[in-house]
């Protein structure tokens, strides 16, 4: 595995492109070496060796505790403590904290809606803040209308039966593209879960964040998805 599929992004620096390219190059070198030596059925042991002796490994080792600290201690405390640890690693090559792990999976961190105060966000002003659908428009995301939906629910009843009463169905809020909606009939009852799959910008948050782990993001047909022509 290479690049982001193996989690080789340097999170505090949001740097992943060079790590993806470098690990791809090392995997190719290891595969070439194995094939040249006639060892086609072999495990690519040389890849693990090359990785552990590369700048990618060195870089990621220094920042390994940043996100666990952030998750455990929150932004105000977690980020400075994570930064301290990162710089201790950078300057002295060691961490006084060893290697921290994430306590639990991301989807298991949600609090029930009854324990939270709804946030009244100001309306987007169209100058520095924008509504979700205008931003989705800029992503030029597109999916063929007649293709099978690429956002699959393992159990279609869970969003309304379980997630709505417990978590006010969080997909309505965490999805950056407004793909998920809970709509009601004219009397304000009979909630229905609607998936506007053609707006999906492929961030995969829903696959990770759904508290019931009920949403499965699968690759859409025909190279659909966001298309940023000016980047």
Ligand X SMILES: Cc1cc2nc3c(=O)[nH]c(=O)nc-3n(C[C@H](O)[C@H](O)[C@H](O)COP(=O)(O)OP(=O)(O)OC[C@H]3O[C@@H](n4cnc5c(N)ncnc54)[C@H](O)[C@@H]3O)c2cc1C
Return the residues of window 83-122 that contact ligand X according to CB under 6 A.
none
Q: Any contact of residue 176 with ligand SF4 (CB under 6 A)? A: yes
* Closest residue to ligand X in the complex (CB): 16
Q: What radius of gyration do the chain's Cα atoms show?
A: 22
Return the residues of window 117-136 that contact ligand SF4 according to CB under 6 A.
none
Judged by beta carbon, residue 46 or residue 195, the one nearer ligand SF4 is 195
Cβ-contact 169, 161 below 8 angstroms: no
Q: Any contact of residue 4 with ligand X (CB under 6 A)? A: yes
Q: Any contact of residue 200 with ligand SF4 (CB under 6 A)? A: yes
**CB 220, min distance to ligand X, A:** 9
- What is the pattern of x (binds ligand X, CB under 6 A) and - over residues 9-48? x----xxxxx-x----------------------------
Please identify, among the stretches 23-31, 60-68, 110-118, 204-212, the one whose residues bind ligand SF4 according to the rule CB under 6 A: 204-212
| Residue ranges in contact with ligand SF4 by CB under 6 A | 151, 175-177, 179, 200-206, 217
Binding-site ranges for ligand X (CB under 6 A): 3-5, 9, 14-18, 20, 219
């Amino acid at each position: 595995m290479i690049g982001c599929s193996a989690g080789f992004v340097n999170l505090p620096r949001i740097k992943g492109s060079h790590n993806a390219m470098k690990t791809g190059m090392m995997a190719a070198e290891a595969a070439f070496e194995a094939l040249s030596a006639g060892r086609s059925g072999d495990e690519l042991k040389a890849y693990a060796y090359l990785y552990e002796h590369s700048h990618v490994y060195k870089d990621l080792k220094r920042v390994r505790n940043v996100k666990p600290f952030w998750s455990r201690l929150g932004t105000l405390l977690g980020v400075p403590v994570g930064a301290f640890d990162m710089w201790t690693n950078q300057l002295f090559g060691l961490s006084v904290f060893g290697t921290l792990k994430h306590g639990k999976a991301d989807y298991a961190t949600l609090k029930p809606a009854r324990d939270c105060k709804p946030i009244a966000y100001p309306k987007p002003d169209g100058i520095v803040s924008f509504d979700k659908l205008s931003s989705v428009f800029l992503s030029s995301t597109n999916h063929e209308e007649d293709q099978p939906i690429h956002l699959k629910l393992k159990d279609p009843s869970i969003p309304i039966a379980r997630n709505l009463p417990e978590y006010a169905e969080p997909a309505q809020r965490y999805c950056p593209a407004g793909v998920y909606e809970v709509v009601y009939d004219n009397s304000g009852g009979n909630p229905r879960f609607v998936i506007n799959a053609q707006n999906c910008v492929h961030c995969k948050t829903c696959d990770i964040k759904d508290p019931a782990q009920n949403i499965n993001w699968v690759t859409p047909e025909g190279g659909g998805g966001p298309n940023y022509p000016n980047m």
